[in-house]
Amino acid sequence: MECLVLKKSNCKNCYKCIRHCPVKSIRFSGNQAYIIGNECVMCGQCFVVCPQDAKQIVDETEKVKVLLGSGSPVVASLAPSFIANYDGIGIESMRDGMKKLGFYDVEETAIGATIVKSEYERICDQEDRDNIITSCCHSVNLLIQKHYPKLLPYLADVMSPMQAHCKDIKRRIPGAKTVFIGPCVAKKDEAQYYEGIVDAVLTFDELTAWFKSEKIVLEQKVDSEEHSRARFFPTTGGILKTMALDNPKYTYLAIDGMENCIGALKDIESGNIHNCFIEMSACSGSCIGGPVMEKFHRSPVKDYVTVAKYAGPKDFLVYTPSRKEIEKEFTIIDQRNTEPSEQEIRETLHQMGKMKPSDELNCGSCGYNTCREKAVAILQGKAEISMCLPFLKDKAENFSDTIARNTPNGLIVLNDKLEVQQVNKAALKILNLRTPSDILGDQVVRVLEPGDFMSVLLNGRNIHNKREYLAEYEKYVEKTIVYDEGYRLILCILRDVTEEELQKERKAKISRQTVEVADKVVDKQMRIVQEIASLLGETAAETKIALTKLKESIENE
């Protein structure tokens, strides 16, 4: 069962998880982030930093409820960091509250820590080992198993305090089921991988939510049980604080934080480090800085002081198991990735727009430390070219620049102060300007009337295809003004329609001239008709007179 899962609907393609993943065990596909199981070290950083809660820890509360209903005694192993997570609440208060949930009993994992530290002391005293790396932190164990397998001989083959304690519980209480409760995601994976020791794992978040659902309020009381120094285990150097440290062969040191652990492992791998006993914790501040400390609070000083006050100078009285009983075997967890060739890397870098070393910004915006590392991830199917933000930015700018350069329309971009931010060549030509520097940064009033721009800015109503005559430039333009409220920018598009308007004027002039000629022709024709009519009238009158005289003459005869 997976311990960390992706909620796809929440993943917003921000790459924050890959930026914080110390081993880059996240694969992007379809703009979604997927955890690569055989590379992940379960540090939980992707869960902590995800701003959209797209990474979720598998909740085992229902599994524990099933155990409680099975009839078997269920005993909780409570991580010693609980005192920092639950302010002012000691083990007795926790025990009272959890018994109300149905638990048979609650014990501190510090009991298992006492068993483990005794085994570390025995190894230092009785075995001739070179470097020894503590195996309490499952994330560190996975880091070595998956990414530094050559260092497995240095990893102490000893159970973690969680396992040692739960095994001891089952030894003392026949038929008992064990539930570990702490601030760690990795413990869920450890419990699943090493079956039969820990039956379920809850985080502090899950336990708190359970308390709330049952309306259980924990009593503010720090008990007066015997204080054990094993309670220091969840702090940086806490393991060393419980040990004798009396073997002069070893240099004892504590390292916390995944970056520091990786750096130390590289030093050891180089072969230059010898005779060191190294306490390693994946989390900065050790377990009190765990990924599921409730509310993700980061109070390293306060939490350390709280743990220190609750700890003490003595050890718990514990059963001492044999070497075999507490031994833990670690195996190499193979990686499936193959290393690409130099030629393949170069070709991929070229696809990312990295033609030469100076193009490799190594900005880390994609989540990878270098462009080369990103190229390798692309070839291994873990990343996509589109994750390179400078590449996308350049591509978008080049695309928009190509459009701006080649469009016949003038483009002018203003800010909300009506200052010119961008202007293309077509606009320069329309406005009779030589270079963009002639106007960039200046008020638009220098080249255009600001009235329409002010109207759009104040009223939010865009202007489309408004025609006007720019007398200063002796040009007609079709003007569109659009306001982008999100970016607070005004875009003005000027289409030079001077030729269209002149063509219209020419056509109108020809039309007027044609009408005038037609009118003249009609007038002339009318005059001719009138003259002809006049002549015909005179002739008809004379004819009538002549015919009348002829008629009269005939009648007289």
256-307 confidence digits (pLDDT tens): 999 999 999 999 999 989 999 999 999 999 999 998 887 555 688 999 999 9
CB atoms within 10 A of CB 508: 10
Contact 388, 366 (CB under 8 A): yes
> What is the value of pTM for the model shown?
0.72
CATH number for the domain formed by residue range(s) 339-406: 1.10.15
Which amino acid makes up residue 158? Answer: V
Taking the CA of residue 545 as centre, how many other CA atoms within 13 Å lie in the half-sphere pointing to its CB?
A: 5
CB atoms within 10 A of CB 329: 6
CA pair distance 457, 482, nearest whole angstrom: 9
Which amino acid makes up residue 96? Answer: D
Terminal Cα distance for the chain, rounded: 148
Report strand pairing: 4-6 vs 475-484: unpaired
Helix (H) or strand (E) holding 266, with range, is: helix 258-269
Q: For 428-457, b where at least 16 C-beta lie within 10 A, e where not — what string?
A: bebbebeeeeebeeeebeebbeeebbeebb
- Rounded to the nearest angstrom, the gap between the alpha carbon of residue 471 and the centroid of all alpha carbons in its chain is 52
Q: Which two tokens stand for residue 7?
A: 């909620």
Q: Which residue has the tokens 């070497």?
A: 323
Closest-CA residue to 206 (of 79, 108, 299, 330):
79
Furthest C-alpha separation in the chain: 181
pLDDT of residue 453: 94
Domains of the chain, residue spans? 59-326, 339-406, 408-496
Closest-CA residue to 222 (of 77, 106, 95, 93):
93
pLDDT of residue 266: 96
Q: Which two tokens stand for residue 435?
A: 């270079």
Q: Which residue has the tokens 């507490």?
A: 326
- Rounded to the nearest angstrom, the gap between the alpha carbon of residue 60 and the centroid of all alpha carbons in its chain is 27
Q: Which residues contact 388 (CB under 8 A, 6 or more apart)?
A: 352, 353, 365, 366, 371, 374
pLDDT of residue 354: 83
**Torsion angle, CA of 336/339/344/349, rounded to 10 degrees?**
90
Instruction: Say what angle helices 204-213 and 61-68 make with each other, to 10 degrees.
Output: 60
As a whole number of Å, the CA-based R_g of the chain is 44
pLDDT one-digit tens code per residue, 435-473: 988 899 999 999 999 999 999 999 889 999 999 999 989
pLDDT of residue 74: 97
Contact 155, 178 (CB under 8 A): no
Helix (H) or strand (E) holding 413, with range, is: strand 410-415
Topology classification of domain 408-496: Beta-Lactamase (3.30.450)
pLDDT of residue 226: 67
Ordered per-residue pLDDT tens for the chain, 557 residues: 578 887 877 887 788 888 899 999 988 877 788 888 889 999 999 888 888 888 889 999 999 999 999 999 999 999 999 999 998 899 999 999 999 999 999 999 999 999 999 999 999 999 999 999 999 999 999 999 999 999 999 999 999 999 999 999 999 999 999 999 999 999 999 999 999 999 999 999 999 999 999 999 999 988 766 678 999 999 999 999 999 999 999 999 999 999 999 999 999 999 989 999 999 999 999 999 998 887 555 688 999 999 999 998 888 889 999 999 999 999 999 877 778 888 888 888 888 878 888 877 777 777 788 888 888 888 888 887 777 777 766 666 666 677 778 888 999 999 989 999 989 999 999 999 999 888 999 999 999 999 999 999 998 899 999 999 999 899 999 999 999 988 889 999 999 999 888 888 888 888 888 888 877 887 888 888 788 877 777 776 776 676 677 767 776 65
Contact 221, 83 (CB under 8 A): no
pLDDT of residue 172: 95
